[in-house]
Amino acid sequence: MIAMAKPHIEREQLDPTGRALHKRVETTGYTVDTVASPGTSVPHRHAGVELVFVHHGAAVWWVGDWMHVLVPGDLIVFDASVFHGSRPVAGSYIRTTIHCVPHAISPQLTRLLAAIPSLPCRMALPEAQIPRIFDLICRLRRSQRAGRTKTQVKRLIETLFEEVSAAGAHSREPELHPVVRDVIRYMIEQPESDETVDQLARRFFVSEGHLYYLFQTHFGCSPARVWRAIKIERMCRELVKQERSVDELAASSGFASRRGFQRAFKRVTGMSVESYRARLGSQRH
- Whether residues 162 and 242 share a domain: the answer is no
Query: What is the strand order of the sheet 66-70 is part of?
Result: 66-70, 59-63, 84-88
Task: Report pLDDT for 226.
Answer: 94
Tell me, yes or no, whether 2 lies in a domain: no
Long-range contact set of residues 52-55: C-beta below 8 Å, sequence gap at least 24: 52/76, 52/95, 52/96, 52/97, 52/98, 53/95, 53/96, 53/133, 53/134, 53/137, 54/93, 54/94, 54/95, 55/4, 55/8, 55/9, 55/94, 55/95, 55/96
What is the C-alpha separation between 49 and 249, in angstroms, rounded?
Answer: 31
Tell me, yes or no, whether 139 lies in a domain: yes
- Whether residues 73 and 105 share a domain: the answer is yes
Q: What is the CATH number of the domain that holds 53?
A: 2.60.120.280
- DSSP states of 191-237: TT----HHHHHHHTTS-HHHHHHHHHHHHSS-HHHHHHHHHHHHHHH
What is the C-alpha separation between 252 and 112, in angstroms, rounded?
Answer: 39
What is the C-alpha separation between 84 and 237, in angstroms, rounded?
Answer: 8
Give Cβ neighbours of residue 106 (< 8 Å, ≥ 6 apart): 154, 158
What is the C-alpha separation between 171 and 124, in angstroms, rounded?
Answer: 5
- Whether residues 111 and 185 share a domain: the answer is no
First to last CA, the chain: 39
- Whether residues 143 and 52 share a domain: the answer is yes
Domain boundary among 111, 140, 168: 168
Going by their DSSP bridges, the two strands 93-100 and 30-37 should be labelled as antiparallel
Give Cβ neighbours of residue 198 (< 8 Å, ≥ 6 apart): 208
For the chain (285 residues), the mean pLDDT of every run of 10, in chain order, is 51 62 75 90 90 93 94 92 93 91 86 83 84 89 81 89 78 81 94 92 96 94 94 89 84 88 90 88 62
Q: What is the pTM of this model?
A: 0.88
Tell me, yes or no, whether 20 lies in a domain: yes
Domain boundary among 168, 189, 204: 168
Nearest one of 52, 48, 124 to 86, comparing CA atoms = 52
Give Cβ neighbours of residue 202 (< 8 Å, ≥ 6 apart): none
User: Do 53 and 104 meet the contact criterion of CB atoms below 8 Å apart?
Assistant: no
- Whether residues 216 and 269 share a domain: the answer is yes
Range of the domain at 73: 11-168
Task: Report pLDDT for 6.
Answer: 44
Q: What is the CATH number of the domain that holds 253?
A: 1.10.10.60
- Whether residues 111 and 69 share a domain: the answer is yes
Q: Please give the tally of structural domains in the chain.
A: 2
Task: Report pLDDT for 5.
Answer: 41
Tell me, yes or no, whether 92 lies in a domain: yes
Relative orientation angle of helices 107-115 and 150-168, to the nearest 10 degrees: 10
Give Cβ neighbours of residue 77 (< 8 Å, ≥ 6 apart): 49, 50, 51, 113, 116, 119, 120, 121, 164
Tell me, yes or no, whether 173 lies in a domain: no
- Whether residues 162 and 182 share a domain: the answer is no
